[in-house]
Amino acid sequence: MGTGVMVGDLMAVADVGDLWGEADERRKRKAGKRKKRRRADGRGVDGSKKDASEVDSSDAAAKLVRQEWAQWGSAAQRITAKRLGEIAEAAFLAKASGMGFGVAKPWGDSEPYDFILAVRGRLLKVQVKAAFTAGQGGCYSFCTHDHALRPYSAKDFDALVAYVAPESAWYVLPMRLVRRLRALKLFPASRRKRSKFEKYREAWWVLRGE
């Protein structure tokens, strides 16, 4: 198989990227209008009355960020699981290509892996998983089994890439860590909890064999 991406896949990626980009722009415009209205009447991002000096404080900025991510998460819940998967794959394609990996997509969706990466003369099978909303305690959960609820085995793929979309965080795990694992839990933004897989955040060296 060649190391390029098929034309049909590129068109699908472009469509998904355009759709998500338009939705994101609309969300930002609405958030900007709300922020201006609250500044005009001297209220903070959370709607409470504040002094003028407090409107642009770091506390208000932090609340705005949390509010926008909450809206983003709500939007993600209204999109179908299949479309979210396409968004995740589009994001991985852009990320991996931008880092210099050769990327190919297998025909159809019958294989237990999503992409083939050309790395230093080797072809690696990569499975991509994504999470778009956080659970209790900032936990992002990933299923690590096939459609028949069987744990993945070494023959299925070489590495699993877990994408935490709201945090723009990527975790690259070798197959030996995923094998026989039924679920993966990550806490990229939590200060209280830390996953044992945190050291694999942005661990692209796993794919390079370093």
Chunked in runs of 10, what are the mean pLDDT values of the chain (210 residues)? 40 45 58 60 46 43 50 64 89 94 91 92 93 88 80 88 93 88 84 80 90
Dihedral (CA of 182, 78, 168, 205) sign: positive
E strands, 71-204, in order: 102-104, 115-119, 122-131, 140-143, 159-164, 169-174, 183-186
Task: Indicate the angle between helix axes 58-78 and 7-40, nearest 10 degrees.
Answer: 140
Burial label for 83, CB within 10 Å (0-12, 13-18, 19+), is middle
Per-residue pLDDT of 75-126, as tens digits, reads: 656 778 888 889 999 999 999 999 999 999 999 888 989 999 999 889 999 9
Question: How many whole angstroms separate alpha carbon 9 and alpha carbon 106?
Answer: 10
The two three-digit tokens of residue 138, written as one number: 């900032």
Neighbours of 94 (CB within 10 A): 13
- Residue 154: which residues within 8 A CB-CB, separation 6 or more? 175, 176, 179
pTM of the predicted protein model: 0.62
Give the right CATH number for 81-208 from 3.40.1350.10, 1.10.10.10, 1.10.3720.10, 3.40.50.2300.
3.40.1350.10
The pair phi, psi for residue 175, each rounded to 5°, is: -60, -35
